[in-house]
Copies of this chain bind each other. A is one copy, B any other.
Amino acid sequence: MGYSDFAFSIEGRDRWTSARAGIILTPHGEVKTPVFMPVGTQGVVKTLSHRELEDVGVPMMLSNTYHLYLRPGPEIVGRAGGLHKFIGWDRPILTDSGGYQIFSMATLNRVTEEGVTFQSHLDGSHHLFTPEKVMEIQHTLGADIVMPLDECVAYPTNHEYARQSSELTIRWAERCRVRFESLKAQNPDGSRAALFGIVQGSVYPNLREESAKRLVTMDFAGYAIGGLSVGEPKTAMYEVLWATLPLLPEDKPRYLMGLGYPEDLVDCVALGVDMFDCVIPTRNGRNGQVFTSKGRLVLKNARYAEDFSPIDPQCGCYACRNYSRAYIRHLFQVGETLALRLASLHNIHFFQGLMHQMREAIMEGSFEDWRESFKSAFRQHESLE
């Protein structure tokens, strides 16, 4: 497939690992990789304004097709001129296919060759997502990177079910590709998005390999690895990554969906992953857990009641420059939403800083040294929590 508005270039490679530093060009500008995308499920990264995201250097947001389809509905987003205009965010957006949410949130989902029927978690209304429909919805939303419908199987799943599901996901990917191309052809000026493929296959390396090989022949703009971080042991996740990543083309971005904790991001960058998304910085932040260069802190703990130092004295984010642990703990204790904002903002700043540091280290040829010193520092708070 040709993409006039999408390109990926590699600017630097680590000598000892598979880590690389790149640039993704999208219709809404460049994104430096490795990149971490905060999750803006309903067109907003929970509790935060777009200005706050920009201030901490978020280059790209993920938004959820399932949620936006249900509310406000693609028609309203379309009439606003697309998702960027509707939500007032002019940096790149990636929309997922809704697959993950259908299998994790919707009730009574039923998978057939045609697609997946599900009931809304909001009002029980019935809906059918086909590969074609998911392309049409995302076409209306107008994201920069769109994802094909996939079945995200739970862990554990037996090999036979995982095999059938993975093959179905491959057939759906092909149907998505065809519909995506025809939408583009119908509207050559309007649709400038890029379509990625999603490797599935549960924890079975042979299924993952087959999925990766088949998708690569379809020539997507990038390749995602889905269905991980769903409860499998960490060793199983890394086995899948070791089996899959070498089969993905060097010159396309690789996106590990739904990860993760800082240590895992670092190790996955070392394996050659370029893109990540996860709710951890925001969800954990709302629960009072913050990330610092020395590890995690739980701000609600009584030990911080009179700790008048910032979350992380090394950090330059708005929360750390202006507020103390004691004050933010007070806000959590009394139920003030500014607490959720400050913790979320700090965490997203931390994740963006992490990606930035990794990129710099790759470019400077010091990634392995950096990784070692990061991990050693990041363990310091373990005894506290």
Contact across chains for B336 and A72 when beta carbons are under 8 A apart: no
In the complex, A43 has a CB within 8 A of chain B: yes
Contact across chains for A71 and B338 when beta carbons are under 8 A apart: no
Given A324-B80, A324-B88: A337 and B337 interface contact (C-beta under 8 Å): yes
In the complex, A44 has a CB within 8 A of chain B: yes
Q: Please pick, from B305, B338, B342, the residue contacting A72 in the complex, using a CB distance under 8 A.
A: B305
Chain B residues near A338 (CB, 8 Å)? Answer: 44, 46-49
Q: Could you list some 26 contacts between A and B, CB below 8 A?
A: A43-B327, A43-B330, A44-B331, A44-B336, A46-B338, A48-B338, A49-B318, A50-B322, A51-B322, A71-B330, A71-B334, A72-B305, A72-B326, A76-B305, A76-B306, A76-B326, A76-B330, A79-B308, A80-B308, A80-B327, A81-B308, A86-B308, A86-B324, A88-B323, A88-B324, A337-B341
A232 to chain B, nearest CB (A): 31
- Residues of A in contact with B (beta carbons under 8 Å apart): 42-44, 46-51, 67, 71-72, 76, 79-81, 85-88, 305-306, 308, 318, 322-324, 326-327, 330-331, 333-334, 336-338, 340-342
Contact across chains for A42 and B336 when beta carbons are under 8 A apart: yes
Complexed CA–CA distance, A81 and B341 (Å): 24
Q: Please pick, from B46, B306, B330, B342, the residue contacting A79 in the complex, using a CB distance under 8 A.
A: B306
